[in-house]
Amino acid sequence: MSAITAEPPASTGQAHHPEVGFFHKYIWTYDHKMIGIQYLWTALFFLLVGGGLALLVRYQLAWPNTPVPLIGQFLPATVASDGAIIPGGYNMLVTMHATLMVFFVVMPLLIGTFGNFLIPLQIGAGDMAFPLLNELSYWLYVVSGFLILAAFFAPGGAPGTGWTAYAPLSAEAKYNGTQMGQSLWGIAIFVNGLSSIAGATNYITTVVNMRAPGMTMFRMPLTVWSLFITAILLVLAVPVLSAAAAMLFCDLNMGTSFFKPAGGGQPLLWQHLFWFFGHPEVYILILPAMGLVSEIIAVFARKPIFGYKAMVYAMIAIGFLGFIVWGHHMFVSGMNLTLSATFSVSTMFIAVPSAIKTFNWMGTVWRGSIEFTTAMCFALAFVTMFVIGGLSGIFMASTPVDLFVHHTYFIVAHFHYVIFGGSILAIFGALYFWFPKMFGCMLNETLGKVHFFLTFIFFNLAFFPMHNLGLGGMMRRIADPTVYEHLRQLQPLNQISTIGAMGLGFTTFIFLGNIIITLWNRKSHPAPDNPWHANTLEWTVPSPPGHGNFPVTPTVYHGPYEYSVPGLDKDYLPQTEPAPAHVKLEAH
Amino acid sequence: MSTAVLNHDQPAGHASAPPATAKFGMIMFLASEAMLFAGLIGGYIVLRLSMPQWPLPLEDGRVVHLPWLLTGINTVFLVTSSFTLHFAEVQVKKGKSGLPLIFVTILLGSLFVGIQCYEWWHLHHEGLWFNSGGVYGSSFFLMTGFHGVHVLVGVLLILWCFLRQVFTRCFTPAHHVALENISLYWHFVDVVWLFLFAIVYLWH
């Protein structure tokens, strides 16, 4: 350990802030670490809500039109009648599940929680560039959360137009039946967008301007790189959705006709604007997960990340390509065939940087001395599940195949393999990995392993059958598959999928239980400064770090992935420690 | 690099970002704003190019034309205000108060908002509104509305600068971050207007 870490900063940190009360510590705080934790709890709450909605959806698909056990009679009249979910209510559940999971769970967890917590710590800064803006971003997220939940209580109920809210269904109250619900959706997306933009502006500025001495761009951990690129995508993509949401709101409430053919408007314009945002959004949801996983894999393989610069350039390429492929969501919308072929080719190009990343992860674990901690298990599961989700993506990139599988459960299987099998698994892994640094105590590894294996099994049980369902012809967004002759024989697959989903729901409580038990007994499992023997800067300060993070501004001497360097007496070399003269580092 | 590393010697959370960092943050925010207007303008161009005639007639067959001459004069006011704010900044850098030029900027900005309001009222009187004239009315009012709100926010921000300078003389040649960033924002709003004016009023 270097001299920098020798002195605990708690005393110096607290000395400047003896007066910080409950309100300024937990509610309105300027400390990026606490803001990250605020995001964590709020997003976990939304994870439970969104997951509950998903279970209702799955229940209806497995046993259509039967009363939902236990909670059926508590469902509002817009969703269920006599405890059984009605078709309109089914649409609302699907819409709200997707909207909550994308905007209120995965984005806040990846970008809000880990972005806030890790960026300043990993680049050696005391806080974000704009602490006030940071807290404002969190509270805007909370406000947007209230707005979206309020849609359930609107006259006519929540919007049932899918998270994509395709016009003209979404743009005309007489079609969607819930002017206020759909308007609240639009406002919530707008406010959530403001929150994202505020956060992203802050991240970019922090990464560019606040790095510690010696922390060059190519010495930054891949986590920071991924969040940096994600923030750029957010700044450029989210405002376009905001503009579209404003148009949608005006169409609903001010009588404008942006998406209404009667007044010269174009429903397709909504699709273009939405997917111009929507496709970068896909990478907004996966890039930070890739960064987190890269970190975990390198630490637990005890090896330098294979091809660090290739990883960075691959992420930049994914970020760039993400902006020129949105048309592949619209192959069945009546697109010019030449344009469709162009989008098809540009989409397939994304397979190249994605494959670079996958091979580099494999190269990193190859012949490493792997420690199968819970975090590592989740990270390895991320890589495998991401490969499945990525490969099914290439099916859809090809227009002729897409024409067949579009609007089927094959698509649902694909994006759940990417967003659950990718992002959520990475989030779980990252929580096990950084929990000690966040809260100063270690999560229980045994419960963690149980959580991991059950999640992995139930996840595949829930989502793999959807591939078969989709190829068997099951359409998306149908409330009752049994009314279709050709789908009746597939009904057992739907039931298997639902059992898997219920298992996933149950498993989440093991995870939450683990968190609660650990925090309850936090004194009995105190986390050391560097429990995983990792190199990045956050592990050089106590767990949890004091206010202002670093007692003395750290100096960085080399890259973050110097593991098992020949000639050293330990298998890691923190970024704050210069390499001894006789040791030659691989690069930078 | 490392222009602003907080540590325990500085009270974190109460320190404001150094000028270069604040300016960089503002530029990132403006990039985001540019994409907001790009979305609106892109949508407008798509809608307009698919129309056989433009401007679209109202429901009763009348065609309402935009008052391009009045708005052209208004554009001159807005562009001038960008220059006055810029020179106010130059004055502050030379150690002067810059107050007269900031005041002129506020006047010109308010004048722009006022004339836009009059134009909205006038067009509404003629029968063109959000809900009439199809996408012609829709796009005109949404785009100028979004821009108008930005100008209004800008005027309020400059007013805030003005009052701070009047009462505290807080802008010194070395340190006038707020004025610098608000000025950047104001120039941005001005440039967006030039695009809007060109494609909404002048494109026939």
- ipTM for the complex shown: 0.92
Chain A partners within 8 Å of B37 (Cβ): 243
Half-sphere exposure of A371 (CA within 13 A, CB side): 15
Contact A210 B5 (CB under 8 A): yes
Question: Which residues have a Cβ under 8 Å from the Cβ of B204 and sit 6 or more positions away?
Answer: none
Nearest-CA distance B97 → chain A (Å):
28
CA nearest B29 in A: which residue?
A201
| CB-closest option in B5, B14, B131 to A255 | B131
Q: Which of B171, B160, B167, B203 is nearest to B68 (CA)?
A: B203
Interface test with A, best of B54, B138, B149, B185 (most A CBs within 10 A): B138
Question: Which residues have a Cβ under 8 Å from the Cβ of B69 and sit 6 or more positions away?
Answer: none
Contact B43 A244 (CB under 8 A): yes
Nearest-CA distance B92 → chain A (Å):
25
| CB-closest option in A202, A238, A256 to B130 | A256
Nearest-CA distance B104 → chain A (Å):
30
Q: How far is CA B128 from the centre of its chain?
A: 24
Tell me what pLDDT residue B15 has: 55
Q: Does B131 touch chain A (CB under 8 A)?
A: yes
Residue A434 to residue A455: CA distance in whole angstroms: 19
* Domains held by chain B: number: 1
The CATH number of the domain holding residue B10 is 1.20.120.80
Contact A553 B2 (CB under 8 A): yes
pLDDT tens, position by position, for chain A (588 residues)?
Answer: 333 333 333 333 434 445 678 888 888 999 999 999 999 999 999 999 999 999 999 999 999 999 999 888 899 999 999 999 999 999 999 999 999 999 999 999 999 999 999 999 999 999 999 999 999 999 999 999 999 999 999 999 999 999 999 999 999 999 999 999 999 999 999 999 999 999 999 999 999 999 999 999 999 999 999 999 999 999 999 999 999 999 999 999 999 999 999 999 999 999 999 999 999 999 999 999 999 999 999 999 999 999 999 999 999 999 999 999 999 999 999 888 899 999 999 999 999 999 999 999 999 999 999 999 999 999 999 999 999 999 999 999 999 999 999 999 999 999 999 999 999 999 999 999 999 999 999 999 999 999 999 999 999 999 999 999 999 999 999 999 999 999 999 999 999 999 999 999 999 999 999 999 999 998 888 999 999 999 999 999 999 999 889 999 999 999 999 999 998 989 999 999 999 888 888 765
Contact B32 A235 (CB under 8 A): yes
Q: Does B25 touch chain A (CB under 8 A)?
A: yes
Residue type for position B5:
V
Q: 3-state class of A371 per DSSP?
A: coil
CA nearest A16 in B: which residue?
B11
Contact B138 A257 (CB under 8 A): yes
Tell me what pLDDT residue A253 has: 96
Exposure of B174 by Cβ count < 10 A (0-12 exposed, 13-18 middle, 19+ buried)? exposed
Interface test with A, best of B23, B28, B140 (most A CBs within 10 A): B28
Contact B28 A204 (CB under 8 A): yes
Q: 3-state class of A526 per DSSP?
A: strand
Contact A215 B1 (CB under 8 A): yes
Q: 3-state class of A556 per DSSP?
A: coil
Whether the CB-CB separation of A556 and A517 falls below 8 Å is answered with no
Contact A250 B138 (CB under 8 A): yes
Tell me what pLDDT residue A584 has: 82
Exposure of B120 by Cβ count < 10 A (0-12 exposed, 13-18 middle, 19+ buried)? middle
pLDDT tens, position by position, for chain B (204 residues)?
Answer: 334 444 444 444 445 778 899 999 999 999 999 999 999 999 999 999 999 889 999 989 899 999 999 999 999 999 999 999 999 999 999 999 999 999 999 999 999 999 999 999 999 999 999 999 999 999 999 999 999 999 999 999 999 999 999 999 999 998 999 999 999 999 999 999 999 999 999 987
Nearest-CA distance B107 → chain A (Å):
30
Whether the CB-CB separation of A430 and A118 falls below 8 Å is answered with no
Q: What is the CA radius of gyration of chain B?
A: 20
| CB-closest option in A12, A211, A236 to B35 | A236
CA nearest A237 in B: which residue?
B35
Residue B114 to residue A93: CA distance in whole angstroms: 46
Q: Does B7 touch chain A (CB under 8 A)?
A: yes
Whether the CB-CB separation of A357 and A363 falls below 8 Å is answered with no
| CB-closest option in B25, B38, B46 to A205 | B25
Residue A554 to residue A308: CA distance in whole angstroms: 22
Contact A209 B51 (CB under 8 A): no
CA distances from A87 to A78, A80, A151, A169, A462 (A): 10, 9, 18, 16, 22
3-class SS shares of chain B: helix, strand, coil, % to 5: 70, 0, 30
Q: 3-state class of B19 per DSSP?
A: helix
Q: Does B185 touch chain A (CB under 8 A)?
A: no
- CB contact residues (below 8 A), chain B span 71-130, against chain A: 130
Residue A130 to residue A13: CA distance in whole angstroms: 19
Residue A525 — φ and ψ, nearest 5°?
-125, 60
Tell me what pLDDT residue A10 has: 39
Q: Which pTM was predicted?
A: 0.94
Convert the pLDDT of each residue in B110-126 to its tens digit.
Answer: 999 999 999 999 999 99
Record: fold of A35-540: Cytochrome C Oxidase; Chain A (1.20.210)
Residue A410 to residue A418: CA distance in whole angstroms: 13
Contact B134 A126 (CB under 8 A): no
Q: Does B139 touch chain A (CB under 8 A)?
A: yes
Contact A258 B47 (CB under 8 A): yes
Q: Does B49 touch chain A (CB under 8 A)?
A: no
Contact B146 A276 (CB under 8 A): no
The two three-digit tokens of residue A215, written as one number: 């922390």
Residue type for position B126:
E
Range of the domain at B19: 3-202
Exposure of A521 by Cβ count < 10 A (0-12 exposed, 13-18 middle, 19+ buried)? exposed
Half-sphere exposure of A154 (CA within 13 A, CB side): 23
